[in-house]
Structure 1
Amino acid sequence: MSTLQMLLNDQVGTMEKRALFCYGTLQSPLVIKAVTGQAYAGQEATLHNWARFRVRGSEYPGIVPKEESVVSGKVYWDLDETAMEKLDAFEGDKYERVIVEVTMPDGTCVEAYAYAIKDDCRKYLSDDPWEFDRFLQNGLEKFIHWFVEDRRDLFDRGDL
C-alpha cells in the first residue's frame, strides 16, 4: 500500500461519510452499480478549480486541477471499503483517489473522494472537454460493451 493510500485511509475516519464525487461515466447509476454491485443514492454537486477532459481514444474523462474551472458531477454517499476497492480496480493505474471539496446545490461544501488522473498520465488527456449528456447519447453503449469485455474476469470470478 502506498503512503498516499495509507494517508487517505487514515483520513476516511475523519470524514462524516465516505462519499465519492463522480464526474464521468460513474455518474450513471447503471455504471456505478455494474462496478460496485450496489445501487447508491446520488446527489448533484460541483467541483471548483478542476477541469475535465476526454481521455484520448476513449469514452471516459479525467480531471486535473485548473484555476477558475468547474466540473459538474454527482456525489454518492456511504460507500464501504469493498466498494472503494472495486472502484480502485475499475479506475486502474492512470488514476489516483484524492480528497476534494465539492459544493452541493444548497451551497454547503463536503469532502469526498474523487479519481484524478495521475500527473504522469496527463499526456493521455485530449484538449476536448468531456460532457456527460454526450456520453449518454453516444458513448454509454460502447462503454458498457468495453467494460464487460475488458472486465470479464471480474464477472467470471463473481466480483461484480
Structure 2
Amino acid sequence: MEKRALFCYGTLQSPLVMKAVTGQSYNGQEATLNSWARFRVRGSEYPGIVRKEESSVTGKVYWDLDEPTMEKLDAFEGEKYERVVVQVTMADGTCMEAWAYAIKDECRKLLSDDPWDLDRFMQYGLEKFIHWFVEDRRDLFDRGDF
C-alpha cells in the first residue's frame, strides 16, 4: 500500500485535530509552501490556501499516511477543497512533494481577506472548532468512519 506525505497549513497542524480526524498520532515537521497564501474562511475558524506569487504559507508535513487515512482526510476537508500536489521546503532547505488541500477555484469567494494564524486558532478557536467538528460532522462518527 502506497504511503503519502501531507502538508497541513491549518487546523490539522494541531496534533489533537489530526488525531481526531484520522484516529492516529503523527509527528510532523515544519515546512513552507511558497507561492501560496492562506486566508480564513468567512465565518469559520479554519483557512484555505490559494496560489499567490510572492507569498508563502508555513505548516507541517506528516508522512506515511495510507489511503484509508487520506480518505478520512478527504471527508473531513469536504467538497470545498481539492487535494493537490505541492512542492514544500523543509526547515533544512530540502524540497519535497506532498499533498495539500487547496480551496477549489469556485469556492474562492468563501475566503476572507484575513490571514489565518495557528497561534490565534490554538488560543481562541480550537475549542469552538472541536465543537463544530463533533456536531457538524456527526454523520462521519455515526457511519463509523472515525
Task: Compute the TM-score of the two structures, normalised by the length of structure 2.
Answer: 0.97
Decide which of 29, 47, 51 is 1:65's aligned counterpart. 51
How many pairs were matched up? 146
User: What fraction of aligned residue pairs are identical, expressed as a percent?
Assistant: 83
Match 2:60 to one of 61, 70, 74: 74
**Matches of 1:156 and 1:91, distance apart in 2:** 17
Q: Which amino acid aligns with 2:41?
A: V
Report runs of 4+ in structure 1 exceeding 6 Å deviation.
Answer: none
Structure 2 segments unaligned to the other structure (5+ residues): none
How far 1:157 sits from its partner (Å)? 2.6
Residue identity opposite 2:107 in structure 1: C
Question: What is aligned with 2:136?
Answer: 150
- Counterpart Cα distance in 2 of 1:19 and 1:99: 10
Return the letter of the residue paired with 2:122: L
CA positional deviation for 1:156:
2.3
The counterpart of 1:106, out of the listed 92, 103, 111, is: 92
- 1:136 and 1:118 mapped to 2: Cα distance? 25
Structure 1, unaligned runs of 5 or more = 1-12
String of CA shifts for 1:24-71, please: whole Å, max 9, x gaps: 000001101111111111100000000000000000000000001010
Correspondence for 2:10: 24
Q: Counterparts of 1:32 and 1:24 in 2: how far apart (Å)? A: 10
Per the alignment, residue 96 of structure 1 pairs with 82
Q: Distance in 1 between matches of 2:60 and 2:127?
A: 20
CA distance in 1: counterparts of 2:91 and 2:60, whole angstroms: 11
* Alignment-mate amino acid for residue 75 of structure 1: V
Q: Deviations over 1:84-132 (max 9, x none)?
A: 0000010001000000000000000010000000000000000000000
Counterpart CA distance in 1 for 2:46 and 2:31 is 19
Q: In structure 2, what is the Cα distance between the partners aligned to 1:61 and 1:141?
A: 16
- Greater share of residues in helix: 1
